[in-house]
Amino acid sequence: MRMSRMFFFGLMLCAVGVIANSQTQSGADAPHLQKQGNATQMVVDGKPFLILSGELTNNAATSLESLEPIWPKLVAANLNAVIVGVSWAQFEPEEGKFNYSQVDGVIAKARENNLRIVFIWFGCWKNGTSSFPPYWVKKDYERFPRIQIGEGKTVSSSGPVELLSTLSDATRDADARAFAALMSHIKEVDGAQHTVLMMQVENEVGVLRDTRDRSPAANRAFAGPVPAELMKYLESHKESLIPEFRQVWAANGYKKSGTWEEVFGPGKPATLEIPIQTTVSILGPLDHENSWQKLHWASDEIFMAWNYARFLEDVVKAGKDAYNIPMYVNAWLQQPNHAWPGTYPCGGPLPQVHDIWRAGAPDIDILAPDLYLEYFDSVCERFTRNGNPLFIPETSTNPANLMVAVGKYNTIGFSPFGVDGGRPIPVELATAYGLLNQLSPIILAHQGTDTITAARMNQGDQPKQVKLGNYTLTLTYIGRNTHIPPQAKGGVETPAQFAAANAEPPLEAAAIFISTGPDEYYFVGRGMRVDFTPNTPGPQNVGLGDVQEGKFVDGKWVVTRQIEGDDDAQGEILTLRNSILRVKLYRFP
């Protein structure tokens, strides 16, 4: 449904009047999520906030001293937030004795640098395994049991597995107690200032080197009935279940009760070893982009998803009871060479088991992808089904992905991994972050409505048409030639400049388009030419009435260049110039 212009006018007055990352105000409400149309947004101190972040390497914050030179780099790269790990081992070196110094130090430095924080709770699991629990947990394998794989072993042909079992109340309670202590401390030191926006709980959970836990407790649970509360959830959400999951339930006759294998089909035989990395599954090559392992030991993956979800629901609930801010879990996605469950952590919050996670862990706000795959857009599609909000805690630094995630998939935030280490933010992403930071009040006022969209284009793509507001935009790839190609009338690049620009590797073009009035747009992005065709009655010719390149300073639009003459081929060609453009159109017969 289209929002009324008056509503927008009101939104804009509120939104443009704020500086997106100011921490000078504090509000009574803790950071929280709020729906706007089909988007979910992060709200901080009463205003929506677009998280333009980076994730530090896992142990970066275990020493405040070694983090010292990193802060200015984050600021220089235009980040407004940073994702930082908290190690359980460092936080609770002795049972019941908590060390708050790292967390306090990180919060203080973030404030000094006007950055917000998302903390990762590295508790029981990190990339499937259990490397972050304290020594007192690791060494006590009787109180804190590990999973078993194969036929009750801890070693497969691909190596041993050191992974805490979800089927232990003692483990769950220890993790939940520590997490609650962390959240209650964050509330104490940050409940008014809201530097900490959100928590990631654990990291990429799931069973590795087998499809499920085969410890005695797990085998007993697997042989027992599917819990009634899960069956009830599936019944009541039958029509909206994720299609690839529903297919599995349908294939077994939509049974309303039974053991896991009766309801969801056979699990993997314990004796069958999974190959380490292969692109071919037992059922042949997979279409990873679009499908799940067709009925491929689905019951094992569903069983594990339920057990991780139940465990983490209790941890999250303990944390939220202490301090209620948004919390998410992240998924290690199935990679093209991960054909068998267990080569990727089996039971993690992958799209095929989102319904299980929703049923088992209603207090988890977001199921998030760690998105390094080339088919970025289709992963965003799969992670925004059934209203799951999109947040991308780990990714690469491609600015085109940023534009599409923000403008098309309404992401709450974007965050390349390893920004303090071997993968610093490149200038191209820093530039894009700078632009989006400035435009964020307008972006956020439009997210979730039909007045904003984004597109990406690559060399060789045919022109694309995008209907937005009162016009259809025709987008043509021009790559690095952000000025006018010399063959165009009045082009400003010489043939030599044009050739030089084209000598560089082809650039992926991407932009966000926002319709802000009947004849007005804001554009941010690069590498495309935009032409306009009216889609309302009236004169059919469209002129570039007033084109300004500019920026927002204290919420006010400041023109940095008027675009006329050679800059728009005498009013005939509009190109995106890796800047923010405000475009007013007119029509003539």
Binding site for ligand DGJ (CB under 6 A): 58, 127, 203-204, 370, 394, 417
- In the complex, minimum distance from the CB of residue 329 to ligand DGJ, in angstroms, rounded to a whole number: 11
DSSP string, 276-322: SSBSEETTEE--TTT---TTSSHHHHHHHHHHHHHHHHHHHHHHHHH
Q: Rounded to an integer, what distance in angstroms lies between the CA atom of residue 181 and that of residue 190?
A: 14
- Look up residue 384 and give its DSSP letter: T
CB-wise, 42 or 60, nearer to ligand DGJ? 60
CB-wise, 422 or 538, nearer to ligand DGJ? 422
Q: Look up tokens 């509360």; give the residue.
A: 229
- In the complex, minimum distance from the CB of residue 120 to ligand DGJ, in angstroms, rounded to a whole number: 8
- In the complex, minimum distance from the CB of residue 365 to ligand DGJ, in angstroms, rounded to a whole number: 19
Residue 466 CB neighbour total at 10 angstroms:
15
Q: Rounded to an integer, what distance in angstroms lies between the CA atom of residue 43 and that of residue 37?
A: 15
Q: Across the strands, what pairs with 455?
A: 511
CB-wise, 190 or 420, nearer to ligand DGJ? 420
CB-wise, 83 or 176, nearer to ligand DGJ? 83
CB-wise, 175 or 204, nearer to ligand DGJ? 204
- In the complex, minimum distance from the CB of residue 14 to ligand DGJ, in angstroms, rounded to a whole number: 36
Phi and psi angles of residue 87, each rounded to the nearest 5 degrees, phi first? -85, 130
CB-wise, 127 or 431, nearer to ligand DGJ? 127
Phi and psi angles of residue 495, each rounded to the nearest 5 degrees, phi first? -55, -35
Binning the chain into helix, strand and coil, the percentages to the nearest 5 are: 30, 30, 40
Query: Looking at the chain, how many residues does it have?
Result: 589
- In the complex, minimum distance from the CB of residue 370 to ligand DGJ, in angstroms, rounded to a whole number: 5
Q: Rounded to an integer, what distance in angstroms lies between the CA atom of residue 337 and that of residue 280?
A: 8
- In the complex, minimum distance from the CB of residue 203 to ligand DGJ, in angstroms, rounded to a whole number: 5
Helix (H, G, I), strand (E, B) or coil at 338: strand
- In the complex, minimum distance from the CB of residue 197 to ligand DGJ, in angstroms, rounded to a whole number: 19
131-134 contacts at long range (C-beta below 8 A, 24 or more positions apart): 131/162, 132/87, 132/88, 132/89, 133/88, 133/89, 133/164, 134/88, 134/89, 134/92, 134/93, 134/94, 134/95
CB-wise, 394 or 519, nearer to ligand DGJ? 394
- In the complex, minimum distance from the CB of residue 394 to ligand DGJ, in angstroms, rounded to a whole number: 6
* Residues 369/409, Cβ–Cβ less than 8 Å: no
Residue 279 CB neighbour total at 10 angstroms:
12
- In the complex, minimum distance from the CB of residue 439 to ligand DGJ, in angstroms, rounded to a whole number: 30
Residue nearest to ligand DGJ (CB): 204
CB-wise, 416 or 485, nearer to ligand DGJ? 416
Based on its alpha-carbon atoms, the radius of gyration of the chain, rounded to whole angstroms, reads 26
